[in-house]
């Protein structure tokens, strides 16, 4: 009798830190400020629109590339926000979540041995997505404590194997955002090269302090080489729906769709019909930054009662805090102790590095009800 074995394509990958910390939170009845999802209700109208779409019989496949009317609304939005007249038919594909869009973009362009530059701390799907496609992840640390990009280091890492650079703004986990100088540096580096840009912009509207979102869609010379990935879940407080989309120039999107059609093919139909209607009320996304900034500020004000020190956050669901005034424990150990002994779950920022670091920093999700944040702070105040 022969046995079958699998040669792992991801031999160094285990269970994600999000699953580990959420399980630990459940075990110890901890308040979960680790995983990035809201605990407040989404808009009732959007729920009603999904229900109505199902009642109206919109339960069968929509077009492989996404509901045409929804793509038209997205093209209108891009024109209004970024002055980019993209084609709804040829440049937008609806996907089952932003992470899927990122994976499909990387799968589209990578050949074995291709290098992809990314910045750490980084969203945890990037490196596995690169490696499962035979690529090589080239990691560059963001400069602590502001988590800024050292573009001179980027220039030194560029070589003939460099296939792409992954950009994430607003940034998960740090909340940093790209500046105009960052854009100019990026333009200079990729000009007259064959380097692609994979732009993770799922927190597009979760941006604070009157800072603009500097999307790749704003800049024709950057857009022509970009796959720009978005998430409906982050915008409309429905992360569990796993709905997103990718925008790319026609030649790039043509290849993206070749991969997409043999993977998920199409996405949940009733939600697409609902979103096509709901997205027409612009304030539902234009006011999102102000709404989440109030939560960030509320949480930061409350956290002044603790010994944690905030680092700047200008976007996303997340606020980083230093615990250097409390302990010098490794981040993972301190996060576990915080969960077990004080009943608050966070994410150690070290988990967003391939090799791990210890800056004594944890990531907190503030996209929660005020009562949830209050209860968490009350527990954190007990740390001596």
pLDDT reading at 14 higher than 90:
no
Say if residue 93 is in the same domain as residue 174: yes
**Of 226, 256, 281, which residue sits at a domain end?**
281
Say if residue 234 is in the same domain as residue 166: yes
According to the model, what pLDDT value does residue 355 have? Answer: 87
pLDDT reading at 296 higher than 70:
yes
pLDDT reading at 130 higher than 60:
yes
According to the model, what pLDDT value does residue 2 have? Answer: 65
pLDDT reading at 1 higher than 70:
no
According to the model, what pLDDT value does residue 16 have? Answer: 83
pTM of the full structure = 0.96
**Of 244, 259, 281, which residue sits at a domain end?**
281
Mean pLDDT across 126-148? 97
Whether residue 52 lies inside any domain: the answer is no
Distance in angstroms (rounded) separating the CA atoms of residues 39 and 234: 13
pLDDT reading at 284 higher than 60:
yes
Distance in angstroms (rounded) separating the CA atoms of residues 224 and 227: 9
pLDDT reading at 356 higher than 90:
no
**Average pLDDT value over all residues in the chain:** 96
pLDDT reading at 248 higher than 90:
yes
Say if residue 269 is in the same domain as residue 295: no
pLDDT reading at 19 higher than 90:
no
Whether residue 4 lies inside any domain: the answer is no
Say if residue 134 is in the same domain as residue 260: yes
350 near 357, Cβ under 8 Å? yes
Say if residue 236 is in the same domain as residue 98: yes
Say if residue 322 is in the same domain as residue 223: no
According to the model, what pLDDT value does residue 18 have? Answer: 83
Within a 10 A sphere around the Cβ of 276, how many other Cβ atoms? 20
Q: The dihedral of CA 236, 148, 33, 20: what is its sign?
A: positive
Say if residue 201 is in the same domain as residue 350: no
**Of 230, 248, 281, which residue sits at a domain end?**
281
CATH number at residue 114: 3.40.640.10
Whether residue 201 lies inside any domain: the answer is yes
Distance in angstroms (rounded) separating the CA atoms of residues 363 and 239: 18
Model confidence band, residue 379 (pLDDT cutoffs 50, 70, 90):
very high
Whether residue 70 lies inside any domain: the answer is yes
Mean pLDDT across 264-269? 95
Whether residue 308 lies inside any domain: the answer is yes
Whether residue 244 lies inside any domain: the answer is yes
According to the model, what pLDDT value does residue 75 have? Answer: 98
Model confidence band, residue 20 (pLDDT cutoffs 50, 70, 90):
confident
Say if residue 94 is in the same domain as residue 31: no
Mean pLDDT across 321-336? 96
Mean pLDDT across 55-80? 98
CATH number at residue 30: 3.90.1150.10
The token duo for 205 is 């509207």
Give me the number of domains the chain comprises. 2
Domain range enclosing 187 = 60-281
Mean pLDDT across 140-166? 97
Say if residue 217 is in the same domain as residue 345: no
Say if residue 207 is in the same domain as residue 147: yes
**Buried b vs exposed e over 65-94: b needs ≥16 C-beta within 10 Å?**
bbbeebbebbbeebeebbebebebebbbbb
Say if residue 87 is in the same domain as residue 123: yes
Say if residue 92 is in the same domain as residue 232: yes
């Amino acid at each position: 009798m022969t046995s079958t074995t699998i040669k792992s394509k991801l031999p160094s990958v285990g269970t994600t830190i999000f699953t580990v910390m959420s399980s630990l939170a459940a075990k110890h009845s901890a308040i979960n400020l680790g995983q990035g999802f809201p605990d407040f209700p989404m808009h009732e109208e959007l729920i009603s629109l999904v229900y109505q779409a199902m009642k109206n019989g919109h339960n069968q496949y929509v077009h492989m590339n996404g509901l045409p009317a929804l793509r038209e609304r997205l093209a209108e939005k891009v024109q209004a926000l970024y002055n980019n007249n993209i084609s709804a038919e040829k440049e937008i594909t609806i996907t089952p979540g932003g992470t899927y869009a990122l994976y499909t973009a990387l799968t589209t362009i990578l050949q074995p041995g291709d290098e992809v530059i990314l910045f750490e701390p980084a969203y945890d799907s990037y490196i596995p997505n690169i490696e499962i496609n035979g690529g090589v992840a080239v990691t560059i640390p963001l400069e602590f404590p502001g988590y800024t990009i050292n573009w001179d280091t980027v220039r030194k890492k560029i070589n003939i194997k460099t296939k792409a650079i992954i950009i994430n703004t607003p940034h998960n986990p740090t909340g940093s955002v790209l500046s105009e100088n960052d854009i100019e540096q990026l333009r200079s580096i990729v000009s007259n090269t064959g380097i692609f840009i994979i732009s993770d912009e799922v927190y597009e509207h979760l941006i604070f302090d009157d800072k603009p979102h500097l999307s790749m869609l704003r800049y024709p010379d950057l857009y022509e080489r970009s796959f720009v990935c978005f998430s409906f879940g982050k915008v409309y407080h429905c992360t569990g729906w796993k709905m997103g989309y990718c925008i790319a120039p026609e030649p790039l999107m043509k290849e993206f769709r070749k991969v997409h059609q043999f993977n998920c093919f199409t996405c949940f139909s009733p939600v697409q019909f609902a979103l096509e209607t709901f997205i027409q009320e612009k304030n539902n996304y234009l006011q999102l930054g102000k709404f989440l900034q109030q939560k960030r500020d509320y949480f930061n004000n409350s956290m002044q009662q603790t010994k944690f020190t905030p680092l700047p956050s200008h976007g996303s669901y997340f606020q980083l805090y230093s615990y250097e005034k409390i302990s010098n424990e490794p981040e993972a150990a301190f996060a576990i102790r915080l969960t077990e002994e004080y009943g608050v779950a966070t994410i150690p920022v070290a988990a967003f590095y391939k090799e791990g670091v210890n800056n004594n920093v944890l990531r907190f999700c503030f996209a929660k009800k005020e009562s949830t944040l209050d209860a968490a702070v009350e527990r954190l105040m007990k740390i001596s």
